[in-house]
Structure 1
């Protein structure tokens, strides 16, 4: 390894530390260890993002500093309780270590439902992991950080729901990180077979104000006729460098709703690629962001329509305060065989400060001639009349601003039919305004 490559690997996450990590996981199957070795080599070979990379347009590149981060050795004693809504089962990680898990109900186990930490799933359900783990490559710019995730991945979960099984209550996975200069690399896989129905809620939170690195990956797969809801909510510390890459696959007549809530991080990049592979497939891509301070939230999306008669709808809403920056770059791709595609893409930005900046780059790439597609973005401020109306009724300015932000967000939150989950997310968002 060259000196330059070793620098990009970063002290603390260098080849020596990777070798130690690999030796600590020697109990896992050889094929998984080889996968991790290949990912480490890929990470070392890939360059850091540069100004010439279109997928990093408007992003702050000088602050992508991986130096000094370490893998935590001990779990934190402080683990916030975020799953305050009825749920089927939960798995909790603290500093990459499994610290708690609840038992999957016996009737679901009898039907073949699997909800297990990733390491357990690799040992017990290796063929399933092989089939779906990073089945489709990352291609929105963070390939280097996805490779780093695979190399160091230890925390994560598998949710597998067999054909025809419908589960009302959500499954929950929580990742908590604490300690100065600590890093985590969660990876979650959700597989719904034909006509299955399930919800997974994933939380990513810092338990202190330390400098953190988080690089997460999800593989979300909905088989024919399946209905999958995925909610990912992150509230990292104000000094966290965060990457999250989601891969969504919807087969024939499948419906996938993904909602991502972004509240924390000094610099947080989220990539989501939804692939509609069978006729009748539908993808609902939603996101809410509260951007404060001088932090940057970078969102990159793809809606790829491969088969005919598929639909997708993207709605990303950002509320920006202080000197915060948001970047949205989204593309709808309609392939030649995807006739009668119906696809929409909207990015809405609410500017709550004169110094906040919102960059929006929606786009279309259409290769079929019988489609209906549209895209658009808006950036606007709160109407003074609205603020005056609330303040005239005795509501202080900060509370009035918060109420108007929640009104702005409700269009997205109302997409969730689970009222308890809706309320829990509202409470989490509200906590951002109390800091």
Structure 2
């Protein structure tokens, strides 16, 4: 009988399903069916109106991530080793080209019930906990439109990632770090992060994506943040990929009663970077503060889409995204505040500000409201403006070179957002990256 040859994506699905527990293999296959039934998003889809997705990226070979090749910190690539030293995280996971390369977690955290490990290892050692949480925030199915096709592909084909669980009532003082490093181009890579904070727990997690310049790499990452009642999470996703990387990151948080999320998205690297950040406020007293900073230089296109979805009464959310573009760089921001009929007594705010440093730089800003409740306080606003030549001239008359003056203006412009991030070393790292790009 004739046999049908599997496509590379189907072959990857079979390989990953064969090494997955039965429930996960079934979920992967359902997600692939969803992916296969959708079209790639185009400019006709509102969420992708300003960004062109090249489907050829997903004809690249799949990176065979997963597994572990553990190294001492001193043997890690210099770029990620330096970030480990500078960030001073209390525990760290380092992935190099999709494989776990370094794991450090103090024994006292493990003894207190904290689980911080690779998602593949968690499937073996904490399978019931993973099964009860994975795909809750960003589903394997229930993805219906072209804008969901990448999320469905990741749900089917993720090969590596991180898992954090903090038990009820435990407050972690030091930040934890997950570092995604790559030095291999010509592949597509799929990563997933799952964070579960039990009732009243507290933690800080920093996710970083970094590399030297590479030859055409597609990086798809999904982060699921589950905040149980009364929990508090400070989270940051910082991408400083080199040129040649095409970065797609979808993050969704489920925020239950009296839980608090403080989130920072920093989009600074890659040739094309698209970040989608959503908070689902599903309990009274839920609170979400979503901050964003970005800087696009020559040849860069950075796209951001935020969603504040209120399904419960008496919740609060605030989005504040600011960024700058230089050369022929382009930045995009689209945001949606969506209130369901039950979301009375809601406070929701959304602000976007953009600064253009050259005549060729471009910015698109589209804030949106969709309100089905009638007893709420909601507002949104956006602005895009060129650099103030009067301020530049003022500094030049005092002996400051133009480029240094622009550095000072951009730093002051972004400080209003970065100043709300209670992680001093991370703030300094982001400011230094932008300063180097402007130098």
TM-score, length-normalised on structure 1?
0.91
Distance 1:59 1:115, change over 3 A: same
Per the alignment, in what secondary structure is the counterpart of residue 244 of structure 1?
strand
**How far off is 1:343 after superposition?**
0.5
Q: 2:347 aligns with which of 342, 348, 353?
A: 342
Corresponding residue for residue 220 of structure 1: 225
> How many Å separate the matches in 2 of 1:68 and 1:408?
40
Give the Å deviation of 1:145. 0.9
Pick the aligned partner of 2:208 from 203, 214, 230: 203
Partners of 1:292 and 1:64 in 2: CA distance: 24
Q: Distance in 2 between matches of 1:238 and 1:189?
A: 27
Query: Residue by residue, what CA displacement relative to the aligned partner does 1:383-424 show, whole Å, maximum 9, x if unpaired?
Result: 112112222232221121112111111111111223223223
Whole-angstrom CA distance in 2 between matches of 1:194 and 1:14: 39
Q: Which of 154, 161, 170 is 2:166 aligned to?
A: 161
Partner of residue 19 from structure 1, selected from 14, 26, 46:
14
Indicate which of 48, 57, 68 corresponds to 1:66: 57
- Tell me the TM-score normalised to structure 2 length: 0.90
1:429 positional shift: 3.3
SS in 1 for 2:243: coil
**Mapped pair 1:32 → 2:24:** yes
> 1:421 matched to which residue of 2?
426
Q: State the superposition RMSD in angstroms.
A: 2.2
Does the C-alpha gap of structure 1 residues 248 and 17 become closer, same or farther in structure 2, counting only changes over 3 Å?
A: closer
- The gaps in structure 2 that reach 5 residues or longer are 70-75
Q: What is the DSSP-based 3-state SS (H/G/I as helix, E as strand, rest coil) of the residue aligned with 2:57?
A: coil
Counterpart-to-counterpart distance in 2, 1:265 and 1:92:
19
SS at match of 1:48: coil
Q: Do the aligned partners of 2:16 and 2:159 also contact (CA within 8 Å) in 1?
A: no
Q: Offset at 1:78? A: 5.5
Inter-partner Cα distance in structure 2 for 1:72 and 1:136: 25
How far, CA to CA, are the matches of 1:142 and 1:301 in structure 2? 13
1:401-412 aligned at under 5 Å gives the runs: 401-412=406-417
5+ residue gaps, structure 1, are 1-5
Residue 185 of structure 1, CA deviation: 1.2
Q: Which residue does the alignment assign to 1:49?
A: 41
**1:21-74 Cα distance to aligned partner (Å, 9 max, x none):** 445xx2x4222222222223322222111343222222224x343254223469
Cα distance in structure 2, aligned partners of 1:162 and 1:16: 38
Question: Which residue in the other structure is 1:88 paired with?
Answer: 90
SS at match of 1:327: strand
For the 8 Å contact 2:208–2:238, the answer to whether it is kept is yes
Contact 1:332 1:365 in 2 (8 A): yes
What's the counterpart of residue 123 of structure 1? 124
User: Counterparts of 1:185 and 1:391 in 2: how far apart (Å)?
Assistant: 47
Distance 2:430 2:160 in 1: 23
Structure 1 stretch displaced more, 46-55 or 276-285? 46-55
1:113-168: per-residue Cα shift (whole Å, max 9, x none)? 11010101111112221222121346685421112212221221111111111111
The residue matched to 1:360 in structure 2 has which SS? strand
Closer, same or farther: CA 67–112 of 1 in aligned 2, 3 Å: closer
How many residues matched? 420
Q: Distance in 2 between the 1:392 and 1:228 partners?
A: 46
